[in-house]
Amino acid sequence: MPGSEGGHNAATPPTARPGAVESSQSFSGDELVGREGELRRIEQLLDPTGAVPRALLVDGPPGIGKTALWRAGIEHAAKRGFRLLLARPAEAEAALAFAALGDLLGEAVDAIGALPEPQRRALRVALLLDAPAGAAIETRSLCVAFLGLLRELSSDGPLLVGVDDVQWLDRPSASALVFALRRIDRVPVVFFGTARPTAAEFTFERLERIALGPLDLSSLDRIIRRSLGEQLPRPVLRRLERISGGNPFYALELARALTRRGESPPEIDSLPLPETLTEALRERISTLPDEARQALVATAALSTPTKSVVTAAVGDPHALDRAAHANVLVLDGERVRLEHPLVGSAAYAMQGDAERRELHRRLANSSPVTRIGHVISRTRRTAPTKRSPPPSRPRRRVRAREALPNRPRRSPSSRWS
């Protein structure tokens, strides 16, 4: 929300104005091996001569490469002159009303003043910019206000609304977003998002969905060689492809497990491999230095992690550098982001309840900006409610690792009906 934490672990490209780069410039990258068809579709999405509005949702299981594709598209949109409204909601924040809306509008709050008074008031209250005056926020006023704001912002040039992990949108934000995108017409507004297949409820007319499939053996080989500097024997690559199902993140974690064990190539083919991504990630995380692991968990618990907040929470000035050296965190100026969201989810899931409460206590004390969210997180884990189990029974844990592949998940409720 404005003045607080922004989109989850977002490495947000700087907002670019129209005309910054020739629109014919194409984009690609080693990170996007085997995704040439999807890159072409993103090029079409950002084509200023195409029909408006345009909306694209990339879906697929965790680790398949959605976020890498999303980041590439966002960076290219910035170079083409799009104004960016971005959010990367987290599972832990899905119950916080208007959290994602606050992320999207974090750098656009000044434009709210151009709206009619009822809409302006509804948005400012929802974003915690004004105190509520009696009655609760009227849903329709808020949705109409968000629609009006998108039209206002796009009057100066093309606008891109980007959401990574749509399935974690809080319900009020998702409702406002769908309401607006259904009604945007004849203005240069583009929507680009990612989701897991479980987010089928997020839909509207003119939304195109493309599913990311598994990568072939050659693409996996290129990714492993680029990331690890290792040329694995063909039989080993085939084995990695079979176990990972062509999931690039899973295959890379399996390859890391092999190289950590230091086996010579003839012995690797018979070496036992982790049978699930969760197992592979736990093995990797357990080998990290303690301070690097603490920095990883703190980063995973923050919406917009920064060096100062993570360092204050961990208490070790070298923890972030060690985590970056271990390739679990990426440092970008003052910003910190996870090397991959699944690494953070697995690290957070490995924490016990007491460790999580202590983590959120330290995060709440590390900065006034982070205090509210982490006091809420701590309270949710400790405050008794009518639905709490008796003290003699162990409390059920909210496990981030349930989001990883090869673990059954309950079907989500209809979040946006």
So where are the chain's domains?
33-211, 217-284, 288-381
Quick one: 33-211 is in which CATH superfamily?
P-loop containing nucleotide triphosphate hydrolases (3.40.50.300)
**Phi and psi (nearest 5°) for 385?**
-135, 170
Which tokens in the block code for residue 18?
């129209």
Sheet holding 207-211, edge to edge: 83-87, 159-163, 189-195, 54-59, 207-211
Residue 361: per-residue pLDDT: 87
Residue in this structure with the two tokens 């068809």, named with its chain if needed: 37
What is the distance between the alpha carbons of residues 147 and 183, in angstroms, rounded to a whole number?
A: 8
Q: Which of 209-218, 263-272, 280-289, 350-359 has the highest mean pLDDT?
A: 209-218
Contact 85, 105 (CB under 8 A): yes
Residue 225: per-residue pLDDT: 93
56: exposed, middle or buried (Cβ count in 10 Å: 0-12, 13-18, 19+): buried
Residue 23: per-residue pLDDT: 37
pTM: 0.70
pLDDT digit string, tens, across residues 140-161 = 889 999 999 999 999 989 999 9
Residue 93: per-residue pLDDT: 80
C-alpha count within 13 angstroms, C-beta hemisphere, residue 310: 34
Distances (CA, A) of 202 to 89, 163, 187, 294: 14, 12, 22, 35
* pLDDT bucket at 278, cuts 50 / 70 / 90: confident
CB-based contacts of 41, cutoff 8 Å, min separation 6:
56, 210
Q: Please report, as a single letter, which amino acid is at residue 96.
A: L
pLDDT digit string, tens, across residues 329-378 = 999 889 898 888 778 888 988 989 898 889 888 888 876 544 444 444 44
Weakest mean pLDDT among 68-77, 166-175, 207-216, 256-265: 256-265
Which tokens in the block code for residue 182?
């259904």
Residue 53: per-residue pLDDT: 64
Question: Does position 392 have pLDDT exceeding 50, yes or no?
Answer: no
When pLDDT is averaged across residues 157-169 and rounded to a whole number, the result is 95
